[in-house]
A = this chain, B = another copy of it.
Amino acid sequence: MKSLRIGMIGYKFMGRTHSNAWRQVDKFFDVPARPVLKTLAGRDAAAVKEAASQLGWEGTATRWQDVVADPEIDIIDINTANDTHAEIAIAAAKAGKHVLCEKPLAMTVEEAQGMVDAVKAAGVVNMVCHNYRRIPAIAQAKKMIEAGDLGRIFHYRARYLQDWIVDPNFPLVWRLQSKIAGSGTHGDINAHIIDLGRYLVGELDEVNGHLETFIKERPLPEDPTKTGEVTVDDAAITLARFKNGAIGVLEASRFALGRKNHIQLEINGSKGSLVFDFEDMNRLKYYNEADPADRRGYRDILVTEGVHPYVGSWWPPGHIIGYEHTFVHTIADFIRAVVDGKPVHPTFEDGLEDQKVLAAVEQSSKTRSWVKV
């Protein structure tokens, strides 16, 4: 069988999820090529060696440029901090590598545009890793919406709630500093429900958002007796209008106690409704107005059957899967696209569209009015 040799840049949280996916994909999916975990890159030589050993990579590099330049490498997988995505991706495209890049694609719309231009010019397969699109329940929802099962869509309501910085003594880590992180909840988790809205409902027309910082000073990590200013948002709330006439309400927060990774979506259309909750990700709730009047109700579909997207490659019905499987599905489709030389969603153009929405929400929060995407 054909092999694809992977060079991966970055090995923290996303490096772990991607490594797992590269290792697992051909054990469960009938992919047309086997990935070879060839080179893992990171600046700290000792740390990257340890990570490679732990995560199953053959070799290491301390300069991503060397990996991009390596003629043995077919695919570059970018898991570094957001401010480095553009440079690496553009270089990889120029070197003729297919590129998988973590979300958000870039720091700005301009950067994202540059990345789109580069992959188009190079003709390489490109994908931004919005793993939640390939939760089986979400893929099933997409299938149903495309088949018209919901009819005309009226409402998209989405929440992405976490609770890890409610404590005011939680330190001012880099994620809470705009110069490094760009934004807070907005680029980190609001980005996910924006992408899912575009995927499931359609393109956005205009948005009206508000970014809030509840705790404005926090102890410095290096010296907890001193404090510094929090320069990112703690929460983002947004009204939205889609081009197809649907309206949306989006909310992202790190201040919702008890909500750990709570992504709740509800879509209401003229023929039915769908509800999803990530903490119960193997289920999809579906209301079908065409059911007989005395037995209508949200169906609690356990999305673990062979007829459901992706999940049949794992275990028998009722044997649930988890978070990391969504990356395996993503990479399975990416491998197929690379072998076939065909686009695979979400492309860098999707990442660019997401970026435009993120920028519009930020602007609307400043101008305190609606902003066209």
Task: Name A's B-contacting residues (CB within 8 A).
Answer: 13, 17, 19-20, 23, 26-27, 54-56, 140, 143-144, 154-155, 157, 159, 161-164, 166, 168, 208, 210, 212, 214, 234-235, 237-239, 241, 245, 247, 249, 251, 253, 255-262, 266, 268-273, 278-289, 291, 293-302, 304-305, 307-308, 314-325, 368-370
Q: Is the CB of B144 within 8 A of A298?
A: no
**Across the two chains, which residue of chain B brings its CB closest to A326?**
B319
Q: Within 8 Å CB of A268, what residues of B?
A: 161, 163, 253, 255-259
**Across the two chains, which residue of chain B brings its CB closest to A321?**
B322
A302 touches which of B164, B297, B368 (Cβ 8 Å): B297
A210 touches which of B162, B239, B256, B261 (Cβ 8 Å): B239
Q: Within 8 Å CB of A238, what residues of B?
A: 239
Q: A251-B157, A251-B249, A295-B299 are in contact. Are A257 and B279 (CB under 8 A)?
A: no
Q: Give 26 A-B contacts (CB < 8 Å), ordered by A residue.
A: A13-B316, A17-B315, A144-B295, A155-B255, A161-B268, A164-B317, A208-B208, A214-B245, A239-B239, A256-B266, A256-B268, A257-B269, A258-B297, A260-B316, A262-B318, A279-B320, A291-B299, A293-B305, A294-B301, A295-B301, A297-B299, A297-B302, A299-B300, A319-B323, A321-B322, A322-B325
Q: Within 8 Å CB of A27, what residues of B?
A: 19-20, 23, 54-56
Q: Within 8 Å CB of A289, what residues of B?
A: 166, 257-258
**Across the two chains, which residue of chain B brings its CB closest to A298?**
B300
Q: Within 8 Å CB of A293, what residues of B?
A: 305, 307
Q: Within 8 Å CB of A304, what residues of B?
A: 260
Q: Is the CB of B279 within 8 A of A302?
A: yes
Q: Within 8 Å CB of A17, what residues of B?
A: 315
A370 → B minimal CB distance (Å): 5
Q: Is the CB of A247 within 8 A of B166?
A: no
Q: Within 8 Å CB of A324, what residues of B?
A: 314-315
* Cα of A210 to Cα of B301 in the assembled complex, Å: 32
* Cα of A235 to Cα of B325 in the assembled complex, Å: 33
* Cα of A20 to Cα of B324 in the assembled complex, Å: 14
**Across the two chains, which residue of chain B brings its CB closest to A240?**
B237
Q: Is the CB of A155 within 8 A of B296?
A: no
Can you add 17 more A-B contacts, CB < 8 Å, to A154-B166, A154-B253, A166-B270?
A27-B55, A144-B295, A157-B159, A210-B247, A235-B247, A249-B251, A257-B269, A258-B272, A261-B318, A278-B318, A279-B282, A283-B297, A296-B299, A297-B302, A320-B320, A321-B322, A322-B322
